[in-house]
Amino acid sequence: QVQLVESGGGLVQAGGSLRLSCAASGRTFSNYAMGWFRQAPGKERNFVAAISRDGGSTTYADSVKGRFTISRDNAKDTVALQMNSLKPEDTAVYYCAAVRTSYTYSYYYTEDKYAYWGQGTQVTVSS
């Protein structure tokens, strides 16, 4: 199994930036494609961004494209989500997730693909 711990959430004004980090432990991190999801109060959890095992392939939800950037450091077993130009509608609990895959260049954007989840970190954007 792999354990995931998110950090970096907080309160920020609209237009500001935050950088979320997810630290992985327990298995070989580079064997896992990674993703970020978020869940706003009273809503379903939704896809935000995903990255392949080697970090060379990424994909984003339309709502965050051009504002958020996902990256990973396989030497440090971490994945990050840089969030710029934040909006009040970005307010949510953000979760990182991992899926073991044999495909180096694949990413996954559906929740059911991911077997491992962190506990989440709260992001609140004030207007």
- pLDDT the model gives residue 121: 98
Q: Are 72 and 51 in contact (CB under 8 A)?
A: yes
Which residue carries 């990255």 as its tokens?
Answer: 51
Q: What is the pLDDT of residue 55?
A: 95
pLDDT tens-digit map of 22-75:
999 988 999 999 999 999 999 999 999 999 999 999 999 999 999 999 999 999
Using 50, 70 and 90 to split pLDDT, how confident is the model at 83? very high
Give residue 26's pLDDT: 87
pLDDT tier for residue 117 given thresholds of 50, 70 and 90: very high
Mean pLDDT of the chain: 96
Residues 107, 39: Cα–Cα separation, whole Å: 20
Residue partners of 52: CB distance under 8 A and separation at least 6? 33, 58, 103, 104, 105, 106, 107
